Chain A
Amino acid sequence: MRLEYFQLIDRVTELNLADRTIRTEATVPQVSTVFEGHFPGYPLMPGVLLIETMAQSSGWLVVALNKFNRMPFLAAVKDAKFRTFVLPGQLLSVTATLEHDGSGYAVTNAKITSAGKPICDATITLRVMPFPNGEIRQHMCDQAARLGVPSQESAHG
Chain B
Amino acid sequence: MSTTFDTIANIIAETCDIPRDSITPESHAINDLGIDSLDFLDIAFAIDKAFGIKLPLEQWTQEVNDGKATTDQYFVLKNLAARIDELVAAKGA
Q: Are B54 and A102 in contact (CB under 8 A)?
A: yes
Q: Closest Cβ of chain B: how far from A52's Cβ, in Å?
A: 18
Q: In the complex, what distance in Å separates the CA atom of A105 from the CA atom of B55?
A: 11
B37-66 interface code vs A (CB 8 A; 1 in, 0 out): 010011011001100001111110100000
B residues 1-46 with Cβ under 8 Å of A? 38, 41-42, 44-45
Q: Are A125 and B48 in contact (CB under 8 A)?
A: no
A101 (CB) vs chain B CBs: closest residue: B54
- Per DSSP, chain A at the interface is strand
Q: Are B54 and A103 in contact (CB under 8 A)?
A: yes
Q: Are B48 and A76 in contact (CB under 8 A)?
A: no
Task: Name the B residues within 8 Å of A76 (CB-CB).
Answer: 38, 41-42
Q: Are B48 and A127 in contact (CB under 8 A)?
A: no
Q: Are A102 and B44 in contact (CB under 8 A)?
A: yes
- Per DSSP, chain B at the interface is helix
Interface residues on B, range: 10 to 19
Q: In the complex, what distance in Å separates the CA atom of A76 from the CA atom of B38?
A: 8
Q: In the complex, what distance in Å separates the CA atom of A139 from the CA atom of B42?
A: 30
Contact check: which of B41, B55, B56, B59 meets A127 at CB < 8 Å?
B41
A6-21 interface code vs B (CB 8 A; 1 in, 0 out): 0000000000000000
- Asked whether A75 and B38 contact (CB < 8 A) given A102-B48, A107-B45, the answer is yes
A residues 99-157 with Cβ under 8 Å of B? 100-105, 107, 125, 127
A residues 72-103 with Cβ under 8 Å of B? 75-76, 100-103
Q: Are A103 and B45 in contact (CB under 8 A)?
A: no
Interface residues on A, range: 10 to 19
Q: Are B45 and A100 in contact (CB under 8 A)?
A: yes
Q: Are B56 and A103 in contact (CB under 8 A)?
A: yes
Q: Are A103 and B55 in contact (CB under 8 A)?
A: yes
A127 (CB) vs chain B CBs: closest residue: B41
Q: Are A105 and B45 in contact (CB under 8 A)?
A: yes
Q: In the complex, what distance in Å separates the CA atom of A101 from the CA atom of B48?
A: 10
Q: Are A102 and B38 in contact (CB under 8 A)?
A: no
- Residues of B that sit less than 8 Å from A by CB: 38, 41-42, 44-45, 48-49, 54-59, 61
- Residues of A that sit less than 8 Å from B by CB: 75-76, 100-105, 107, 125, 127
